[in-house]
């Protein structure tokens, strides 16, 4: 079970050795709202509230965990209070994995469990902040997009229809101005620009741009299979 601060809940909850939630934070309802939710296949499909803060004793040390708003989604942070070292990542597990690597423990950790998200008590508290549509998304395990999408969100949905383009890459394509000096709002606009040089500049962007997700660039199948598929889908030579 999870221990909640008395500032959050008036009822007394059981005290255990697990995470102590200090602040539930707020549901992110701005751009890329869908990225501020756990994967649909998780035990609990739920929002990652920005400003969520909790502490946990582990490895005989006290750690503080929190969630920040990032450019394309949440950033999860874990700080070791003794050394003040901070580890960050794009999922609850990534910063805890960095903690393990830093300590050379050779163990694996469940980030959702350590952050407190695997506990029904935490989920019940977060659910109190949901709108009706968000509660439905949590119960159904469906995507929690904003009801009114921004132009960039609409563009990202369009780019996700291109064979080989995942969600994170689609978000980059929808927001970058590196492809012709302007943001492209749909597939046709991107295809028209890419066709001007047979897809050479787009290919270079997809393979080398610092705007692209690092894990995508490091994926062996990305240059060998997926970039050619994207260029072919857009009608470019490759």
Block means of pLDDT (10 residues each) for the chain, 238 residues, are 47 52 94 91 89 92 96 94 95 94 84 91 93 91 84 94 92 96 94 94 96 93 95 84
Question: What is the reported pLDDT for 3?
Answer: 52
Strand partners, 69: 74
Do 112 and 91 meet the contact criterion of CB atoms below 8 Å apart? no
Question: What is the reported pLDDT for 125?
Answer: 92
| 20-23 and 61-69 beta bridge pairing | unpaired
Question: What is the reported pLDDT for 154?
Answer: 94
Q: In the structure, how many helices (H) and strands (E) does the chain have?
A: 11, 6
List b or e across 51-90, with b for residues whose CB sees 16 or more CB atoms inside 10 angstroms.
Answer: ebbbbbeeeeeebbbbbeeeebbbbbbbbbeeeeeebebb
Residue for token digits 């369009």? 158
Question: What is the reported pLDDT for 142?
Answer: 82
């Amino acid at each position: 079970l999870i221990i909640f601060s008395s500032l959050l809940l008036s009822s007394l909850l059981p005290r255990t050795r697990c995470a102590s939630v200090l602040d539930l934070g707020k549901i992110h309802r701005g751009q890329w709202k869908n990225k501020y939710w756990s994967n649909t296949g998780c035990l609990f499909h739920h929002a990652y509230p920005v400003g969520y803060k909790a502490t946990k004793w582990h490895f005989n040390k006290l750690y503080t965990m929190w969630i920040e708003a990032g450019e394309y989604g949440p950033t999860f942070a874990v700080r070791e209070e003794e050394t003040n070292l901070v580890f960050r990542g794009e999922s609850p597990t990534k910063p805890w994995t960095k903690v393990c690597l830093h300590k050379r423990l050779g163990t694996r950790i469940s980030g959702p469990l350590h952050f407190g998200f695997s506990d029904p008590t935490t989920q019940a508290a977060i659910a109190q902040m949901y709108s009706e549509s968000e509660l439905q998304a949590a119960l159904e395990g469906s995507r929690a997009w904003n009801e009114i999408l921004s132009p960039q969100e609409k563009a990202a949905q369009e780019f996700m229809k291109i064979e080989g383009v995942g969600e994170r890459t689609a978000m980059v394509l929808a927001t970058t101005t590196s492809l012709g000096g302007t943001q492209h709002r749909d597939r046709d606009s991107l295809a028209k620009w890419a066709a001007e040089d047979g897809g050479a500049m787009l290919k270079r962007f997809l393979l080398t741009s610092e705007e692209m997700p690092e894990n995508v660039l490091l994926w062996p199948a990305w240059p060998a299979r997926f970039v050619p598929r994207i260029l072919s889908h857009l009608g470019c030579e490759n």
